[in-house]
């Protein structure tokens, strides 16, 4: 491959040559993942244990969702959104061989920050002792990680950042209604992170696609927050805590359709077919949704990474946790194409294609 300086050797004027070189470098600039990390709570909550909490069974949960167990934060152990996010970021930086001080931006996808503000990203920045860099959260439901990755990718491509921590982290156990068997058996806690670095090679994040449809927001929402809406006032009158609410049945088909369309859009954008994809890392909401996606894309399940049986649905953390596991198992070879694809509250849905280069 020709070097950028060789491409402009025909231009004699050194000033023009430098300008052209800078423009070409900016045009070629991409972001690539140089490290992945994850962290999950110690406490394992099994389907069997849930049988004592709500009217459900291990058989129903396994058959209808693919989940066998999930991780739940323990206050006693000091686990929180920030603690998990910090550990996932440290693990990603350790793999990348970089120090916290070399990071120039932190972007975190989450809907379960420990506080309404400051953001989880700012609390992680403090925990990692990184000074004077931008740190902020992105709220996009289960699509939070790919939305955050998109923001970070754009910051590197336009040259405003060089090395960014991107994470997805949730503590859904804090907003789940533990009396609602339709949701409490699905949702859980965890964190995943990546270190993004800039590159001018043909590798890394080739594209991201992100979409939202606010008109369907009522299919999955948390009544928490300001200002007080009529629904929240009704909750107060009914003396119910403010919990996550979901119309799972209506979301199911919508999830498969959105995941399929945005995965196809990503492949078409890069002139890739299903056969070119080495590994799909989908959001882990329900094994039947993932199987529906695989069928629509004509991709065998062996090429789709799943760990839903161990962790349930950890929202914006599910893709970076799965990606970290797949990476550490050596399932994504350097030079192979990975497809990330997700769907969540908002509604939101998103995809990314990476040419793996760790």
Annotated active-site positions, please?
Answer: 142, 283, 313
In the complex with ligand COA, the residue whose CB is nearer, 187 or 323, is 187
The residue among 184, 222, 260, 178 whose CA lies nearest residue 345 is 222
The least distance separating ligand COA from the CB of residue 58, rounded to whole angstroms, comes to 10
Nearest alpha-carbon partner for 192 in 115, 252, 267, 108: 108
Structure tokens at 250: 């209506």
- Judged by CB under 6 A, the stretch of 117-125, 181-189, 198-206, 326-334 that binds ligand COA is 181-189
Assess 306 for contact with ligand COA (CB under 6 A): no
Token pair listed for 319: 């893709």
Both tokens assigned to 61: 């949960």
Stretch that binds ligand COA, among 11-19, 106-114, 180-188, 269-277 (CB under 6 A): 180-188
Helix (H, G, I), strand (E, B) or coil at 65: helix
Question: Mapping DSSP to helix (H, G, I), strand (E, B) and coil, where does residue 297 land?
Answer: helix
Question: What is the sign of the dihedral through the CA atoms of 294, 297, 300 and 306?
Answer: negative
Give the strand order in the sheet containing 204-212: 204-212, 348-355, 337-344, 277-282
Q: Among 311, 343, 349, 356, which residue interacts with ligand COA (rule: CB under 6 A)?
A: 343
The site that binds ligand COA (CB under 6 A) totals a number of residues, namely 21
What is the x/- site pattern for ligand COA, positions 219-238, by CB under 6 A?
-x------------------
Based on DSSP, count helices (H) and strands (E) in the chain, helices before strands. Answer: 13, 13
Structure tokens at 10: 């025909």
Among 24, 252, 272, 296, binds ligand COA (CB under 6 A): 252
Is 285 a binding residue for ligand COA by CB under 6 A? The answer is: yes
Compose the 107-146 pattern: x for residues touching ligand COA by CB under 6 A, - for all others: -----------------------------------x----
Residue 35 or 292 with smaller CB distance to ligand COA: 292
CA 152 to chain centre: 13
Choosing from 8, 21, 43, 56, the residue that interacts with ligand COA (CB under 6 A) is 56
Residue pointed to by tokens 């995809």: 351
Interface residue with ligand COA, options 286, 306, 316, 327 (CB under 6 A): 286
Q: Which two tokens stand for residue 83?
A: 């603690």
Q: Is 284 in the site for ligand COA (CB under 6 A)?
A: no
Asked if 313 is part of the footprint of ligand COA (rule: CB under 6 A), the reply reads yes
The nearer residue to ligand COA, 56 or 222, going by C-beta atoms, is: 56
Q: Is the bond preceding 347 in cis, omega lying within 30 degrees of 0?
A: yes
CA distance 168 to 176: 18
The residues of the shown chain that bind ligand COA, judged by CB under 6 A, are: 56, 60-61, 64-65, 142, 181-182, 185, 220, 248-249, 251-252, 255, 285-286, 289, 313, 343-344
């Amino acid at each position: 491959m020709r070097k950028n300086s060789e491409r402009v050797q025909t231009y004699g004027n050194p000033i023009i040559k430098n300008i052209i070189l800078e423009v070409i470098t900016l045009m070629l600039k991409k972001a690539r993942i140089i490290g992945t990390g994850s962290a999950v709570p110690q406490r394992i909550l099994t389907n069997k244990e849930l049988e004592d909490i709500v009217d459900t069974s291990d058989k129903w949960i396994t058959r209808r969702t693919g989940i066998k167990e999930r991780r739940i934060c323990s206050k006693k152990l000091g686990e929180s959104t920030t603690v998990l996010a910090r550990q996932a970021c440290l693990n990603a930086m350790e793999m990348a061989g970089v120090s916290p001080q070399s990071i120039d931006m932190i972007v975190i996808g989450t809907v379960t920050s420990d506080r309404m503000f400051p953001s989880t990203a700012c609390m992680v920045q403090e925990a990692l002792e990184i000074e004077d860099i931008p740190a902020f959260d992105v709220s996009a439901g289960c699509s939070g990680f790919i939305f955050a990755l998109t923001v970070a990718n754009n910051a590197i491509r336009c040259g405003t950042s060089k090395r960014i921590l991107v994470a997805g982290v949730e503590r859904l156990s804090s907003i789940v209604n533990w009396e609602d068997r339709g949701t409490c058996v699905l949702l859980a806690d965890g964190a995943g992170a990546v270190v993004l670095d800039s590159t001018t090679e043909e590798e890394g994040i080739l594209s991201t696609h992100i979409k939202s449809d606010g008109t369907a927001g009522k299919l999955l929402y948390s009544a928490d927050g300001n200002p007080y809406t009529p629904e929240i006032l009704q909750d107060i009158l009914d003396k119910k805590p403010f919990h996550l609410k979901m119309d799972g049945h209506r979301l199911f088909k919508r999830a498969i359709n959105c995941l399929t369309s945005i995965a196809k859009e990503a492949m078409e954008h890069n002139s890739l077919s299903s056969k070119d994809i080495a590994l799909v890392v989908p959001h882990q909401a329900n094994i039947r949704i993932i199987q529906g996606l695989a069928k629509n894309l004509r991709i065998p399940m062996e090429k789709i990474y799943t760990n839903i049986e161990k962790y349930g649905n950890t929202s914006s953390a599910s893709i970076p946790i799965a990606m970290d596991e797949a990476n550490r198992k050596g399932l994504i070879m350097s030079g192979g194409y990975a497809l990330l694809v997700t769907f969540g509250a908002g509604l939101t849905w998103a995809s990314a294609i990476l040419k793996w280069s760790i």
